[in-house]
Amino acid sequence: MSRALPRPRKRFGQHFLTDRHYLARIVAAIDAKRGDAIVEIGPGTGILTAELAARVDCLHAIEIDRDLARALEGRFPNVVVHAADALEFDFAQLPGSLRVVGNLPYNVSSPILFRMVEIAPRLRDCIFMLQREVVERMVATPATSDYGRLSVMLQYRFAMALQLRVPAGAFTPPPKVESAVVRMVPLGADRPIAGDEALFARIVASAFSQRRKTLRNAVRSIASEEAFARASIDPSRRGETLSVKEFVALADAVI
């Protein structure tokens, strides 16, 4: 007998995946192995949880909705349920080389992504379903309309690829937008690393605060003409044309 879906709560941005075809494709994208250390954010009704629990020795699930968390407790002997907010959860209590997966609520997707940036050294990869437009911004390349602060800040730490698109009809209730699944893999030590990451973040934020401004005007209070010269970057360019490596070079030239 199928379980009745709980009433979605707007304050948690809940849309429950119910389409088995897309569930199978997401499970294939995750490709869980028995010994993987997997944590699922927002398991909801447990539709993905059940598939993962059948494939791994132990699964951790973080659910902010305490009613849903209680409903999951005891359903799967190898699933540890944490009734908690993923933004505040201490991931250090879990094994290293984590694989973090989940259908992220649209209203907190960006904060959770930046939370993954914070714990990137503990991660093996992340596979998330998010609003399609957000995923397209995440994987965007320089000089495209989708390329922005989110693109740079995430690509500074992760290699990312769009895995599949998921229509609104795959959820109950259907959201007003389409979704997509993205895979994020932490970059190695050979990636460009800013000498001052807080300064790097300030420059990126300023460069995209007004996209039509040239870099000279957008980061006037941070980078001098001499800094642009040291970084070999034309200050008449716009921020959306710079690669992550170039943003790092500009930040290092300011120090």
Indicate the DSSP class of residue 93: G
Q: Which two tokens mark 95?
A: 């094994």
d(CA 42, CA 126): 14
Of 165, 150, 149, nearest to 19 (Cα)?
165
Taking 80 as the threshold, does the pLDDT of residue 251 lie above it? yes
User: Is residue 72 classed exposed, middle or buried when 0-12, 13-18 and 19+ CB atoms within 10 A define those classes?
Assistant: buried
Average pLDDT in the 211-216 region? 93
Indicate the DSSP class of residue 18: -
Taking 80 as the threshold, does the pLDDT of residue 147 lie above it? yes
pLDDT at residue 15 in the model? 72
pLDDT at residue 14 in the model? 56
Mean pLDDT of the chain: 93
pLDDT at residue 106 in the model? 81
pLDDT class for 12, splitting at 50, 70, 90?
very low
pLDDT class for 5, splitting at 50, 70, 90?
very low
pLDDT at residue 175 in the model? 87
Q: Which two tokens mark 209?
A: 């605060």
Overall pTM surpassing 0.85 (yes/no): yes
pLDDT at residue 11 in the model? 45
CA distances from 131 to 22, 116, 159 (A): 15, 17, 19
Average pLDDT in the 189-210 region? 96
229: Cβ contacts below 8 Å, ≥ 6 apart: none
pLDDT class for 130, splitting at 50, 70, 90?
very high
Taking 70 as the threshold, does the pLDDT of residue 216 lie above it? yes
Q: Kindly report, residue by residue over 61-111, the tens digit of the pLDDT.
A: 999 999 999 999 999 999 999 999 999 999 999 988 999 999 998 888 999
pLDDT at residue 9 in the model? 44
Q: Which domains does the chain have, with CATH numbers?
A: 10-186 (3.40.50.150), 197-254 (1.10.8.100)
Q: Where are the beta strands (DSSP E) in the chain?
A: 16-17, 38-41, 59-63, 79-83, 98-103, 123-131, 158-166, 171-172, 179-186
Q: Kindly report, residue by residue over 229-247, the tens digit of the pLDDT.
A: 999 999 999 999 999 999 9
The CB-based long-range contact list for 191-194 (8 Å cut-off, 24+ gap) reads 191/156, 191/157, 192/156, 192/244, 192/245, 192/248, 192/249, 193/248, 194/156, 194/248, 194/251, 194/252
Bridge-based pairing state of the strands 38-41 and 98-103: parallel
